[in-house]
Amino acid sequence: MSLTDIPFVSTMPDIVKVREIVKSGNPLDWETVWQAKLTPWDAGESQPPLREVIESGGIHFPRQGRVLVPGCGPGYDVFYLASALNMDVLGLDVSETAITKAKSLMSSFGNSGTGKVSFISEDFFHHKREEQFDLIYDYGFFIVIPPTRRTEWAQQMASLIKPQGYLITLVFPIDPPTDLGPPFFVRVEHYEEVLDGSFKKVLDKVPTTSLPSHVGKERIVVWERI
């Protein structure tokens, strides 16, 4: 498959249907999306760039503590992080149906390490910190919130991550600019604009391995909480 064969994410038929459902901007509309099984982002596995950045050894991520995955969906990345880092990982999604699916997969995926996995249905912006996290991973969440809420997203990230903790962002889809969304097209600069002052960028690269539909459309970027 060549890059010219990969369609823009904003024009994929299921994405168009999703956009029609969530156009009101109400986060609870995502429950309708999951009930309708309109989940073209469900790859059935953790994201290859996440595995690459964790396993490369280039960054010494913590091996104990707490991890958060907002917009976790079925939880593939949650299971992976718990296994790879031996940390306690919380998957959060506004959709009860998504969380129910994630919980149903716990016996299948589980984890081979000592980290614990848990899931709750909650709006990320309403999550109250009881204890800060050592690591947060964002794939597919930043790109579905209205761009007007990105500053609020960054403020919540800064509140939830410990000093010297990490934020891993899978920047996708790097499609041509368009007003269509969600998902909204993104650039690394969109993250920089709202994270500057609270985080410093410590890694920014094109992954060597991507899902076929992501090739040429993503970067893996790691930020350290100042």
Of residues 125, 126, 141, the one with CA closest to residue 184? 141
Residue with tokens 């991520």: 61
Percent share of the chain, pLDDT over 70 = 93
pLDDT at 1 over 70: no
Contact 183, 173 (CB under 8 A): yes
CA atoms within 13 A on the CB side of 20: 9
Residue 8: the pLDDT is 63
8 A C-beta contact, residue 155 and residue 207? no
Q: Which pLDDT score, from 0 to 100, does residue 2 have?
A: 37
Asked if 111 and 82 count as a contact pair (C-beta separation under 8 A), the reply is yes
pLDDT of residue 7: 53
CB atoms within 10 A of CB 167: 26
What is the identity of the amino acid at 112? S
Structure tokens at 226: 């100042």
Mean pLDDT calculated for residue range 115-143? 94
pLDDT at 4 over 70: no
